[in-house]
Chains A and B, each alone.
Chain A
Amino acid sequence: MPPGAKSNKDNDPEGLDREEDQASAAEGLTELLGFMLADEEYALDILEIKEIIRLRTITAVPRTPDYLKGIITLRGVIVPVFDLRRRLGLDEAGHGQHTRIVVVYRGDEFAGMIVDSITHVMEVGVEEIEPPPPTIGTVEVEFIKGVTRFQERLVILLNLARVLDVKS
């Protein structure tokens, strides 16, 4: 059974359709949220994601690494924001109208990650995810959990725990 795209390509992630969640889990499928960074498509498990918000004013926190963009407040909660391009060692780029902050769970807290744009939610069979090849573009292997193909394109799954680990 070929997995199909459930969401659309009109960058409307707020309207994520999740009504088939239970069915897909039963069939060994996993749902991924795809997003673009420097012309490559990346993905996170949808269960790791709290919400997706538009870019808003980020308050810089001094004396922190470059990839930590600063903080935002989300309904009264302070959320740190990572510049995902910088974190992965990619070139920095300006922010445009498709730029989004993907808010993910980080233990008991949250973290935001800036991405170029959201692509879509995809349903992928668990067995279709392969371990990362030794070399994959410019991103260090430690940040990658695996790769998969979706509609003939390569999708890179991020190792969220490593990306958010600021102690390393």
Chain B
Amino acid sequence: MAGKKEKSAYAEFVIEAEELLESMGDRLTALEKDAEEGNVDPGMVNDFFRSMHTLKGLSGMLGLKNVSDLSHGLENLMDMLRMGKIDFRHGAMDALFSGVEILSRLVARVGAAGSEEGIDISAELRRIRQAMEEKAEGDRDVTLENVGLDQRILETLTEYEEHRLLDNLRRNNSLYRVEAHFPFASFDRELHEISEKLRSQGEIISTLPSSDESSPETISFDLVVGSAKTRKQIARSLGKRKGVTLHAVECGGTPPPAAAPASREPPERAAAEAGYESMTLKSLSQTVRVDIRKLDNLMNIVGELVINRTSISQISQELLVLRGFTGLAVDLSKGARNLERNLRQLQQAVIGSRMVPIGQVFSRLNRVVRKLSQDFGKKVELTVHGEETELDKLMVEDLADPLLHLVRNSFDHGLEAPAERKKLGKPEVGSIELRAEQRGNHIIIEIEDDGRGIDVEKIRKIAVDKGLLEEGHSADEQSVLNFLFLPAFSTKEKASQMSGRGVGLDVVKTNVARLGGMIDVETELGVGTRLTITLPITLAIIQALLVEVGDEHFAIPLNSILESNRIYKGQIKTVEKREVIHLRDRTLPLLRLADIFRIGGSRAANSDKLYVVVVGLAEKRLGLVVDSLQGQQEVVIKSLGEVFEGVTGVAGATELGDKKAILVLDVGALIEEATHGS
């Protein structure tokens, strides 16, 4: 049993370890892609190596033996990879992927149970050992022999630098030597500057202090650079700089079969070099970790400020018509406008601080797809676009499971087995594409596969069998597809290992709806399926349309409103005792807020013209009948509290400038009510 102190140490560890593993997972995905193209970014490899080393250190300090042993193994493997002793081939990549996966599980176990028991790492360690035995094709085909670098330079290169140099030669990159003389006073800044410039053009293989002693006030360096760019391009990027000269280095012709590289550097330099040359005790990242509840609190305060600002604007408006106060009123309203601008900035900044890139979830999905692909022998390529798109942190977490389910669905139901795909003339490797993009105040997430598509007729048949649809009913394709989102509607007779876990599309829909989002399906038989999720960027502050019914006001979240229309009484038809109208080729059920909320004095009841606010959530649409529209406003949603728990149709309340509370409608619940009856 872990003591209290250990537990809190574990909590810290888990947070840090999760971050490290997350970033390593991201890098692995990129590394794999680069490795396939034969163009591995050494910086990325070093980052990964360092992260693994940090994890080893952290876990070792806490005596977490499994985590530390496994990260130690992976660190060694990574070391061999970066030294070019083994290649980024399948064995090594698999060992890295599955090693990171097991590490994540171990860390999660430590977080949940305070111990790492129950997860065996011996298979992983074996896998790592095997991968380390896969000999590299290595540096055999090129040598340093004909490289036109000064012997003094060649002799001081470390084993790793030598490997990087050879690797550059093998990729037919050109070598350059940058000779730099900087004044003592500013050499660190200037060296940093040209290093940055050079890194944008290629790889700095080595930075060596040079023995040139032309002037006592300067310090000199030789930078060995490998790059695919021409000398001219690099010179242009460096610009004119005092004391900096660029030399092209002769790389020699076709080299003769190699002798082993001559000399090795002294051991203490090798140790110092092992990827830590830039390591300091100072934390490199400029990030602060903040509890999301603190940000919630900040958000509430900003909300209050917005309300207060509205009061001030109102006072200035009232003051404006009073005799003798015009001057003051103008000043006050000017002040209020400035305040408004500052508040908007503050609000945006606070919202911004809650935002995280959706790539965090995407990279987790990538690992899942890899695993599925291995386990089930279906070849899949997951491509990701727009991973930098930002979303509220809480929403990103709530999105993880629905997205995972949709990707699994695509993998399991959508993509055909390789043999079947071949027969159909499709590429053997199936494709799942994840796209995220921001459009206005919304985030659009698409999951698209090139699988078999959804058989609409089959769903129609099942719907008839289940009594959801009358025989011979001419429901359009979209409404038939909507049956997929009903609980326990499955078209695969036998549930597979993956999707037979009791979570259906209905759960996905509910989760997306809870985030104020909608989901749509498009499909073409034999070609593929695309699911589109539309979400608001944040939930805390929303744009709302204010409407009036009788003497009551309500706020409707703008993100669930599709349009608002003025209609005539004559357009309303009655189908099965329910009011509907036809709008843009669709039959739209109507709900009179005055009726369902029993509000007296509604003008819409008797008037010839009335307003309909068309709301949609997920795939459903509904027309809300109201007396009038009162304009848009930004509102902060607050809970009604425990007393009103269980009240349906109301999502919360908000305060407008005049200290009056206004109810915010729960569009999802109202739609549910209208479509299933109450």
A61 touches B640 (CB 8 A): yes
For chain A, give the interface size range. Answer: 20 to 34
B660 touches A57 (CB 8 A): yes
B642 touches A71 (CB 8 A): no
Q: Point out the residue from A76, A80, A109 that lies within 8 Å of B304, measured CB to CB.
A: A76
A68 touches B643 (CB 8 A): yes
Of all chain B residues, which has the CB nearest A164? Answer: B643
B663 touches A63 (CB 8 A): no
Q: Write the B626-660 contact mask toward A (1 if CB under 8 angstroms, else 0).
A: 00000000000011111110011110110100011
Q: Write the B9-32 contact mask toward A (1 if CB under 8 angstroms, else 0).
A: 000000000000000000000000
Return chain B residues, CB-CB under 8 Å to A79.
641
Minimum distance in angstroms from B425 CB to a CB of chain A: 58
Q: Write the A76-114 contact mask toward B (1 if CB under 8 angstroms, else 0).
A: 111110000000000000000000000000110101000
B642 touches A61 (CB 8 A): no
* CB of A73 closer than 8 Å to a CB of B: yes
Residues of B583-615 contacting chain A, CB below 8 A: 596-599
Return chain B residues, CB-CB under 8 Å to A57.
659-660
Q: Point out the residue from A56, A60, A71, A106 that lies within 8 Å of B640, measured CB to CB.
A: A71
* CB of A8 closer than 8 Å to a CB of B: no
* CB of A59 closer than 8 Å to a CB of B: yes
Q: Point out the residue from A70, A73, A76, A78 that lies within 8 Å of B639, measured CB to CB.
A: A78
* CB of B661 closer than 8 Å to a CB of A: yes
Return chain B residues, CB-CB under 8 Å to A76.
300, 303-304, 307, 655
Q: Write the A34-58 contact mask toward B (1 if CB under 8 angstroms, else 0).
A: 0000000000000000000000110
B303 touches A71 (CB 8 A): no
> With contacts A62-B650, A76-B655 known, is A166 near B643, CB below 8 A?
yes
How far, in angstroms, from A128 to B636 measured CA to CA in the complex? Answer: 48
How far, in angstroms, from A106 to B644 measured CA to CA in the complex? Answer: 13
* CB of A72 closer than 8 Å to a CB of B: yes
Return chain B residues, CB-CB under 8 Å to A78.
638-641, 652-653, 655, 661
> With contacts A59-B662, A76-B304, A78-B661 known, is A109 near B641, CB below 8 A?
yes
Residues of A99-139 contacting chain B, CB below 8 A: 106-107, 109, 111
Q: Point out the residue from B307, B643, B652, B659 that lies within 8 Å of A56, measured CB to CB.
A: B659
For chain B, give the interface size range. Answer: 20 to 34
How far, in angstroms, from A140 to B652 measured CA to CA in the complex? Answer: 33
* CB of B552 closer than 8 Å to a CB of A: yes
B661 touches A59 (CB 8 A): yes
> With contacts A62-B599, A76-B303 known, is A111 near B643, CB below 8 A?
yes
Most buried by A among B303, B638, B644: B644
Of all chain A residues, which has the CB nearest B307? Answer: A76
Q: Point out the residue from B596, B639, B650, B655 that lies within 8 Å of A61, measured CB to CB.
A: B650
Return chain A residues, CB-CB under 8 Å to B641.
78-80, 109
Return chain A residues, CB-CB under 8 Å to B655.
73, 76, 78
Return chain B residues, CB-CB under 8 Å to A68.
643-644
B653 touches A59 (CB 8 A): yes
A72 touches B599 (CB 8 A): no
Minimum distance in angstroms from B664 CB to a CB of chain A: 11
Of all chain A residues, which has the CB nearest B643? Answer: A80
How far, in angstroms, from A71 to B599 measured CA to CA in the complex? Answer: 16
Of all chain B residues, which has the CB nearest A70? Answer: B661
Return chain A residues, CB-CB under 8 Å to B643.
68, 80, 106, 109, 111, 164, 166
Minimum distance in angstroms from B233 CB to a CB of chain A: 60
A60 touches B552 (CB 8 A): yes
Of all chain A residues, which has the CB nearest B639? Answer: A78
B663 touches A59 (CB 8 A): yes
How far, in angstroms, from A77 to B300 measured CA to CA in the complex? Answer: 10
Q: Point out the residue from A73, A107, A164 that lies within 8 Å of B661, measured CB to CB.
A: A73
> With contacts A59-B653, A71-B653 known, is A80 near B660, CB below 8 A?
no
Most buried by B among A61, A64, A166: A61
A80 touches B659 (CB 8 A): no
Minimum distance in angstroms from B303 CB to a CB of chain A: 7
Of all chain A residues, which has the CB nearest B593? Answer: A62
Return chain A residues, CB-CB under 8 Å to B596.
62
Of all chain B residues, which has the CB nearest A110? Answer: B641
Q: Write the B83-126 contact mask toward A (1 if CB under 8 angstroms, else 0).
A: 00000000000000000000000000000000000000000000
Minimum distance in angstroms from B25 CB to a CB of chain A: 40
B597 touches A62 (CB 8 A): yes
A63 touches B648 (CB 8 A): yes
Return chain A residues, CB-CB under 8 Å to B660.
57, 59, 73
Most buried by A among B303, B552, B597, B661: B661
B661 touches A72 (CB 8 A): yes
How far, in angstroms, from A109 to B642 measured CA to CA in the complex? Answer: 8
How far, in angstroms, from A64 to B596 measured CA to CA in the complex? Answer: 12
Return chain B residues, CB-CB under 8 Å to A166.
643
Return chain A residues, CB-CB under 8 Å to B303.
76
Of all chain B residues, which has the CB nearest A58? Answer: B661
Minimum distance in angstroms from A6 CB to a CB of chain B: 31
> With contacts A76-B304, A78-B661 known, is A63 near B640, CB below 8 A?
no
Return chain A residues, CB-CB under 8 Å to B648.
63
Minimum distance in angstroms from A73 CB to a CB of chain B: 4
Minimum distance in angstroms from A68 CB to a CB of chain B: 7
Of all chain B residues, which has the CB nearest A81? Answer: B643
Most buried by B among A56, A71, A166: A71
Return chain B residues, CB-CB under 8 Å to A109.
641-643
Minimum distance in angstroms from B550 CB to a CB of chain A: 10
Return chain A residues, CB-CB under 8 Å to B552.
59-60
A-B contact pairs, 9 of them (CB 8 A): A59-B662, A62-B596, A62-B647, A63-B649, A73-B661, A76-B304, A78-B655, A106-B642, A109-B643
Instruction: For the complex of A and B, list the 8 residue pairs with the smallest distance between their C-beta atoms, beginning with the closest.
Output: A62-B597, A80-B643, A59-B661, A73-B655, A73-B661, A76-B304, A71-B661, A109-B641
Give A contacts to B, CB under 8 Å.
56-57, 59-64, 68, 70-73, 76-80, 106-107, 109, 111, 164, 166
Task: Please name 11 further chain A to chain B contacts, defined as beta carbons within 8 Å, in addition to the given A71-B661, A73-B661, sorted by A numbering.
Answer: A59-B552, A59-B653, A61-B647, A62-B599, A62-B647, A63-B649, A68-B643, A73-B653, A73-B659, A109-B643, A166-B643
